[in-house]
Amino acid sequence: MAEQKPSSLHIESRLSEKRLFKPSKIFSAAARVGSAAAYDKLYKASIKDPEVFFAKQAEELYWHKKWRKVLEWKAPMAKWFIGGKLNASYNCLDRHLDGWRKTKAAIIFEGEYGDERTLTYQQLHHEVCKAANMLTSLGITMGDRVAIYMGMTPELVVAVLACARIGATHSVIFGGFSSEAIRDRVNDAEAKAIITADGTFRRGAVVELKKNVDGALRITASDTLTGCPTVENVIVLKRTGIDVEMVEGRDHWWSELMKEASHNHKAPAIDSEHPLYILYTSGTTGKPKGIVHTTGGYLLGAHLTTKYIFDLRDDDIFWCTADVGWVTGHSYVIYGPLSNGATIMMYEGAPNFPTFDRFWDIIERRKVSVFYTAPTAIRAFIRAGDDHPNKHDLSSLRLLGSVGEPINPEAWMWYHKIIGKGKCPIVDTWWQTETGAIMIAPFPGATPTKPGSATKPFFGIEPQVVSKEGKPVGANDGGYLIVKKPWPWMLRGIYKDPERFEKQYFTEFPGLYFTGDGARQDKDGYFWIMGRVDDVINVSGHRIGTMEVESALVGFSGVAEAAVVGRPDDVKGSALVAFVTMKSGAESSDEIKSKLRNHIASEIGSFAKPDDIHFTDALPKTRSGKIMRRLLRELATTGNVKGDTTTLEDFSVLEKLRTVEDEE
Ligand code: PRX
């Protein structure tokens, strides 16, 4: 790749990846989109007239009433399928009951201790109807907000679809969050009820969910008497059997309410723009944002992307390992696969319980065919060693997916070789909580893949890489990733905060959606996501995306994971500091440090050589597995961490890192 001149406008990109993997002839022959030419044709048509294109696609959903207008767009506000009425729960359940699919497995569930359950579409429908009546009996109606704080068991899916069925906007809160985080989210949404469980099994222990909810309800914010004043009812699923406190009149056992509830429920027609859910996502600063998604456009996105990017078939067993507490779980555990009538695998617990081969064991026993996970998990598997997957027959797999972070090319190669045995296409899917569903990803039967690239945009999506001034940059130049036009599954706002919504996404490049990510597009039109622009560091006038340095570090033999941050430097502006985790058994010495520096010099350039390299056993991560560079930055700069750590998964990691700093 040609050297680029340093420029304050662009983010420099030096990594070049030459490997190209074409879809196999067999895969392409059976795929919905079977060639690059077929993709190009469909994509062009979708961009030429997105309204016509999406109106046609929307016919795949069941509408109680057809829309009168496809799109109304006045930046930053979009409305799709105006006047249309549908029901997301009906689309995920009732419409599959007419034919043979009624006896097809909707959910294959495995608890952490190995308990198993399978629910057919008919059974799931039965449960969701009962739960919808249960919610109604507690006075919950269309437009109310309901918080859901449960473990990964089928009742979580039932709760979500029951809310959707009656038009109550759900707000799922990840089961790893603390009482305070629950309280903030419940209060922001003014939720009328909370659905929870006594606990859930995770890594061999019980996570005490109800106790955390009690904590949230009791915490006294300075000027209120109760922690969550809007909550009238709490529904508690008995999952683990641990003792919990039940408050008379407010707390109800799920099983007792369900026993009373009728299984007959007619799904009402709900407005296309009715808020289906709120999902809180933490920004780098400030309080979490309640991202709002609506019924029609969102469901269409989840449906279409599942159908095309995972190329799902009726005999597939689709396993998205994400927790429903994250957007990936909303779109690819629940709404996408179920609206397609697919079978999902659902697992309650941790990937390393009792040992690091749990996922591979499940894939072998359950004959999982499509597997969708995150780079952070892949890197943890790499670290744990190849023996774990190699012990298992993974031949049922036909397609692999990745989401959540840029996947380092070497991690991609490992996934390809060790899990996919060289035969499964990998779909690296770029999207965000805000985008609702996949935006950039390969079509597995059509798009040749390059390790580390999310490749090409989905139908109707027009991403572009631009300079700070909003001008398109040249091929291979790094810049800011924007989306030029509205799409049906885009967020409709930040709950109760229209100003923050506009400022956050539509002000930097007026009228255009700013993703907050840096990216480049290569000469073949492939997108390479370079991470959050906040993670761009200016070293001696070179703007470097930390992700590229990290990928280069991970490409060095023995390195499992790396995080790179900047610290102020009088001479260079910023100096690069790398935190590196080695694979088990690999050497971590001063000699390796100097080899790593030379490796970066040859992969990227001398200017990108880290000034400091720290070896560490673990990196601080959010509960969804993203590396918290903000904390590392603080640590590298001040030697301490004072900032907000509420989303940190494992606090002991910080302690260890402080010690590493002190020792060196
Ligand atoms: O920086 C991008 C990264 O994750 C961000 C979105 O995070 P979240 O809202 O938590 O949603 C995660 C599930 C979609 C993006 O702005 N990201 C996500 N997927 C990729 C990615 N970066 C590179 N490649 C991806 N495939």
Q: Identify whether the C-beta of residue 279 lies closer than 8 Å to the C-beta of residue 293.
A: yes
Indicate whether residue 325 lines ligand 1 (CB < 6 A): no
In ligand 1, the atom with minimum distance to the C-alpha of 429 is 26
pLDDT score recorded for residue 605 = 79
Going from the Cα of 137 to the center of ligand 1, the distance in angstroms, rounded, reads 39
Residue nearest to atom 7 of ligand 1 (CA): 432
Q: How far apart are CA 8 and CA 86, in angstroms?
A: 49
* Single-letter code of the amino acid located at 218: R
Indicate whether residue 433 lines ligand 1 (CB < 6 A): yes
Sign of the CA dihedral with 336 first, then 338, 343, and 345 last: positive
Indicate whether residue 431 lines ligand 1 (CB < 6 A): yes
Q: How far apart are CA 486 and CA 76, in angstroms?
A: 9
What six digits make up the tokens of 158? 């039932």
Indicate whether residue 309 lines ligand 1 (CB < 6 A): no
Close Cβ partners of 479 (under 8 Å, ≥ 6 residues apart): 9, 10, 11, 465, 466, 467, 473, 518, 519, 520
Pocket residue to mutate for ligand 1, from 292, 332, 403, 412, most atoms within 8 A of Cβ: 403
Going from the Cα of 252 to the center of ligand 1, the distance in angstroms, rounded, reads 37
Indicate whether residue 273 lines ligand 1 (CB < 6 A): no
Question: Phi first, then psi: what are they for 371, rounded to 5°?
Answer: -125, 125
Going from the Cα of 42 to the center of ligand 1, the distance in angstroms, rounded, reads 25
What six digits make up the tokens of 106? 């909707």
Going from the Cα of 374 to the center of ligand 1, the distance in angstroms, rounded, reads 10
Going from the Cα of 468 to the center of ligand 1, the distance in angstroms, rounded, reads 21
Q: How far apart are CA 47 and CA 43, in angstroms?
A: 6
Residue nearest to atom 6 of ligand 1 (CA): 432
pLDDT score recorded for residue 5 = 35
Pocket residue to mutate for ligand 1, from 174, 289, 372, 529, most atoms within 8 A of Cβ: 529
Residues paired with 279 in a beta bridge: 291
CATH fold match for the domains 1-87+295-320+339-430+441-453+464-531 and 540-663: no
Close Cβ partners of 160 (under 8 Å, ≥ 6 residues apart): 148, 170, 172, 324, 330, 334
Pocket residue to mutate for ligand 1, from 429, 517, 520, 527, most atoms within 8 A of Cβ: 517
Indicate whether residue 327 lines ligand 1 (CB < 6 A): yes
Q: Identify whether the C-beta of residue 254 lies closer than 8 Å to the C-beta of residue 272.
A: no
Going from the Cα of 405 to the center of ligand 1, the distance in angstroms, rounded, reads 5
* Closest by Cα among 133, 600, 93, 74 to 341: 93
H helix runs in 556-607, sequence order = 590-603
Q: At what angle do helices 36-48 and 50-58 cross, to 10 degrees?
A: 110
In ligand 1, the atom with minimum distance to the C-alpha of 529 is 23
pLDDT score recorded for residue 6 = 33
Q: DSSP 3-state assignment of 183?
A: helix
What six digits make up the tokens of 39? 């993709």
- Name the residue with tokens 């400091």: 612
Strand intervals (E) in 370-434:
370-373, 399-403, 426-429
Q: What is the domain partition of the chain in residue ranges?
A: 1-87+295-320+339-430+441-453+464-531, 540-663
In ligand 1, the atom with minimum distance to the C-alpha of 431 is 14
- Rounded mean pLDDT for each run of 10 residues along the chain, 664 residues in total: 37 75 96 98 98 98 98 97 98 97 98 97 98 98 98 98 98 89 93 98 95 88 70 98 96 98 98 97 71 98 98 97 96 98 97 95 98 92 94 98 91 97 98 97 98 97 96 94 98 97 95 95 95 80 80 91 89 88 90 93 83 91 82 86 70 72 48
Q: Domain 540-663 has what CATH class?
A: alpha beta
Indicate whether residue 550 lines ligand 1 (CB < 6 A): no
Residue nearest to atom 24 of ligand 1 (CA): 406
* Single-letter code of the amino acid located at 452: G
Q: DSSP 3-state assignment of 280?
A: strand
Residue nearest to atom 26 of ligand 1 (CA): 430
Close Cβ partners of 392 (under 8 Å, ≥ 6 residues apart): 357, 360, 361, 363, 364
Sign of the CA dihedral with 332 first, then 231, 199, and 383 last: positive
* Single-letter code of the amino acid located at 245: E
CATH fold of 1-87+295-320+339-430+441-453+464-531: Rossmann fold (3.40.50)
Contacts of the segment 116-120: beta carbons below 8 A, 24+ positions apart: 117/154, 119/154
What six digits make up the tokens of 464? 């572009």
Going from the Cα of 503 to the center of ligand 1, the distance in angstroms, rounded, reads 20
Indicate whether residue 373 lines ligand 1 (CB < 6 A): no
Pocket residue to mutate for ligand 1, from 332, 431, 629, most atoms within 8 A of Cβ: 431
Going from the Cα of 530 to the center of ligand 1, the distance in angstroms, rounded, reads 10
DSSP states of 12-43: B--------BPPPHHHHHHSSS-SHHHHHHHH
Indicate whether residue 440 lines ligand 1 (CB < 6 A): no
Going from the Cα of 598 to the center of ligand 1, the distance in angstroms, rounded, reads 30
Residue nearest to atom 21 of ligand 1 (CA): 405
Indicate whether residue 305 lines ligand 1 (CB < 6 A): no
Indicate whether residue 517 lines ligand 1 (CB < 6 A): yes
pLDDT score recorded for residue 378 = 93
pTM: 0.89
pLDDT score recorded for residue 14 = 62
Going from the Cα of 438 to the center of ligand 1, the distance in angstroms, rounded, reads 10
pLDDT score recorded for residue 644 = 66
Going from the Cα of 465 to the center of ligand 1, the distance in angstroms, rounded, reads 16
Number of CB atoms found within 10 A of residue 30's CB: 11
Going from the Cα of 514 to the center of ligand 1, the distance in angstroms, rounded, reads 14
Q: Identify whether the C-beta of residue 502 lies closer than 8 Å to the C-beta of residue 510.
A: no
Distance of CA 29 to the CA centre of its chain: 30
Contacts of the segment 77-80: beta carbons below 8 A, 24+ positions apart: 77/492, 77/493, 78/297, 78/486, 78/490, 78/492, 79/273, 80/54, 80/272, 80/273, 80/294, 80/296, 80/297, 80/300, 80/486, 80/488
